[in-house]
């Protein structure tokens, strides 16, 4: 094995790693927010919201992520290009022609669909006695959900959030399918230039492994902090 190529391609890997983290951060924040809304919709008594969120999770969980990425990148991107008033805008030239935006959108929808079901289960696991006690203290509607029900459910989901974030990190490896140079895309570039097979992939595997350890450590620390903040007096 040889790693003499590392100094030449170091910045390519650094940029690829930064792109990977950008995908995780943007998709994670948007996806977890969407998941909370989906989870609340799945336990809603409103038939329309319940049906809409149920259909959404069924479609997202029933189709492969790669297919969703291609549908948004090729389908939605081609649709935007058909309209001159959109095609000639600065936003289209800067963002809508780039696969990064479609990838973030795909990962966000995927997170919303999968984690939304986790949120639903966590909401249903909160003891009804706690909710009844909160109502007795005057909490109703949005106040009950925001101050009591949701924080209580989120506390039980923290370990799951860490695992889902790691899965999101691994899902970013599909970025190269829409011409986004992430960590794996950088390795493919090196493999193409140097004709090396295993060394760049070992380099990338180490990058993903270290990133996973960082994510897990960060969530453990956040979980302890969150538990202290919501510890009963």
We report the CATH number of the domain holding residue 36 as 1.10.3720.10
Does residue 68 belong to any structural domain of this protein? Answer: yes
pLDDT of residue 173: 92
For residue 20, pLDDT over 70 is answered with yes
Residue 166 structural domain: 6-229
- Number of domains present in the structure of the chain: 1
Nearest to 108 by CA among 96, 119, 116: 116
Does residue 43 belong to any structural domain of this protein? Answer: yes
Does residue 1 belong to any structural domain of this protein? Answer: no
3-state secondary structure of 181: coil
pTM for the complete prediction?
0.87
Does residue 23 belong to any structural domain of this protein? Answer: yes
C-alpha distances (whole Å) from 36 to each of 28, 68, 71, 161 are 12, 21, 25, 12
- Looking at residues 20-32, what average pLDDT do you find? 95
Q: Distance between CA 163 and CA 157 in Å, rounded?
A: 10
Helical spans, DSSP H, in 148-198: 150-171, 183-194
Q: Distance between CA 154 and CA 161 in Å, rounded?
A: 9
Asked if residue 203 lies in contact with residue 17, where contact means CB atoms within 8 angstroms, the answer is no
- Pairs from 50-59 (Cβ < 8 Å, separation ≥ 24): 53/116, 56/112, 56/113, 56/116, 57/113, 57/114, 57/116, 57/117, 59/113
Q: By mean pLDDT, which of 44-48, 117-121, 142-146, 167-171 is the weakest?
A: 142-146
Residue 227 or 194, more confident: 194
Is residue 23 within a helix (H) or strand (E), and if so which, with residue range?
A: helix 6-42
For residue 90, pLDDT over 60 is answered with no
pLDDT of residue 77: 67
Average pLDDT, the chain: 87
**Confidence band, pLDDT 50/70/90 cuts, at residue 96:** low
Does residue 164 belong to any structural domain of this protein? Answer: yes
Does residue 119 belong to any structural domain of this protein? Answer: yes
Q: Give 71's contacts (C-beta < 8 A, 6+ positions apart).
A: none
Does residue 39 belong to any structural domain of this protein? Answer: yes
Asked if residue 153 lies in contact with residue 122, where contact means CB atoms within 8 angstroms, the answer is yes
Q: Distance between CA 110 and CA 67 in Å, rounded?
A: 11
pLDDT of residue 195: 85
Does residue 18 belong to any structural domain of this protein? Answer: yes
């Amino acid at each position: 094995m040889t790693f003499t190529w590392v100094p030449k391609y170091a910045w390519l890997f650094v940029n690829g790693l930064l792109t990977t983290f950008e995908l995780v951060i943007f998709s994670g924040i948007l996806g977890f927010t969407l998941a909370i809304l989906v989870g609340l919709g799945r336990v809603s008594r409103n038939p329309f919201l319940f049906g809409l969120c149920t259909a959404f999770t069924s479609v997202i969980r029933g189709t492969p992520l790669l297919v969703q990425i291609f549908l948004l990148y090729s389908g939605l991107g081609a649709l935007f290009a058909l309209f001159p008033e959109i095609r000639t805008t600065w936003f289209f030239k800067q963002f809508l022609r780039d696969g990064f935006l479609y990838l973030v959108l795909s990962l966000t929808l995927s997170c919303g669909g999968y984690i939304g079901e986790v949120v639903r289960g966590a909401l249903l696991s909160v003891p009804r006695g706690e909710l009844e006690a909160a109502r007795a203290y005057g909490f109703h509607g949005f106040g009950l959900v925001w101050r009591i029900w949701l924080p209580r459910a989120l506390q039980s989901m923290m370990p799951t959030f860490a695992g889902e974030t790691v899965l999101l990190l691994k899902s970013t490896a599909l970025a190269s399918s829409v011409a986004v140079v992430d960590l794996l895309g950088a390795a493919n570039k090196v493999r193409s230039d140097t004709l090396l097979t295993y060394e760049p992939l070992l380099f990338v595997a180490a990058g993903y492994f270290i990133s996973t350890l960082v994510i897990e450590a960060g969530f453990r620390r956040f979980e302890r902090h969150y538990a202290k903040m919501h510890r009963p007096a």
